Chains A and B, each alone.
Chain A
């Protein structure tokens, strides 16, 4: 296996953007470019305890109205649409790295979830879902009688 060693160039982004801007000004047929491979699905974190769990999802720029959450047993499913803004006439997309389109993420919670109590909020482009265990599946202390 051969490894090619490339000198790290901290100015690469600058040069790329400048190139594109310069090129665009010279060439009105400049095309939309995807310079990075964007994450196709939003990133997700899960914290859980005995009776409570928290799921967070990165969804910058997504309208909460375009999100759908479902809870079934111990499975939480979050789907949504990262809509791309429509460009008015005369506007050109020069760079397009921000992921767009529909996504679905499914996560198994370590307990059966009480869907009535589930609470979700969007803040600064992060969705946070609080989930609680159903009463029926909660651990119960069982008293031991003297025989």
Chain B
């Protein structure tokens, strides 16, 4: 059974029991919830990052793997006691493999109200193209 949340029961006497971890090494890492929408032009990835400010978001692409990391701090109220705590300072991290159809050089990201929206445009060569159908001269089997 997990008893790690015991430190914040109302009976806890010490006001310092919930002091956030200072260094990012000590922060708990969690996987943020995401939404993914596909359109003919792009993929849009929405990542829930509550409490995160722009400066702490990091996006990188290496070997076609998109890595998103971010850190959320925790406010301090020195004169108040934490009576109930369901979230705190933490590090968000998630990785995604990008298919060949993504234009890696045109990835764009914005952060709004705690939601990071990453736009992953399709590369031109992956865009749907109209292929003209010609009348076959003779039957030809298509094999996969």
Contacts and interface: CB of A to CB of B under 8 A. Distances in A.
Interface of A: 10-11, 13-15, 17-18, 20-22, 24-25, 36, 38, 43-49, 52-54, 56, 58-63, 87-88, 90-99, 107, 110, 122, 124-126, 128
Contacts of B80: 47-49, 52-54
Given A124-B50, A125-B50, A22 B82 contact: no
Given A13-B94, A22-B99, A58-B50, A96 B84 contact: no
Given A94-B38, A122-B113, A125-B48, A45 B99 contact: no
Contacts of B96: 13-14, 17
A103 to B, nearest CB: 13
Max count, chain B CB within 10 A of own CB: residue among A17, A43, A53: A17
Given A48-B83, A95-B34, 9 more contacts: A11-B97, A45-B85, A52-B80, A56-B75, A58-B50, A61-B115, A98-B33, A124-B50, A124-B113
A138 B46 CA distance: 45
B97 A124 contact: no
11 contacts: A14-B65, A18-B99, A21-B99, A46-B84, A63-B113, A88-B39, A98-B34, A98-B35, A107-B84, A124-B53, A126-B51
Given A38-B33, A45-B85, A46-B82, A90 B39 contact: yes
B79 A93 contact: no
B115 A125 contact: yes
Contacts of A91: 37-39
Contacts of B87: 43, 45, 58
Contacts of B97: 11, 14-15, 17-18
Contact of B114 (A21, A25, A45, A125): A125
A7 to B, nearest CB: 18
Nearest to B99: A21
B84 A61 contact: no
A45 B75 CA distance: 11
A125 B39 contact: no
A124 B54 CA distance: 9
A97 B35 contact: yes
Contacts of A22: 99
Given A47-B82, A56-B75, A126 B36 contact: no
Nearest to A45: B85
Nearest to A87: B37
B64 to A, nearest CB: 9
A9 to B, nearest CB: 12
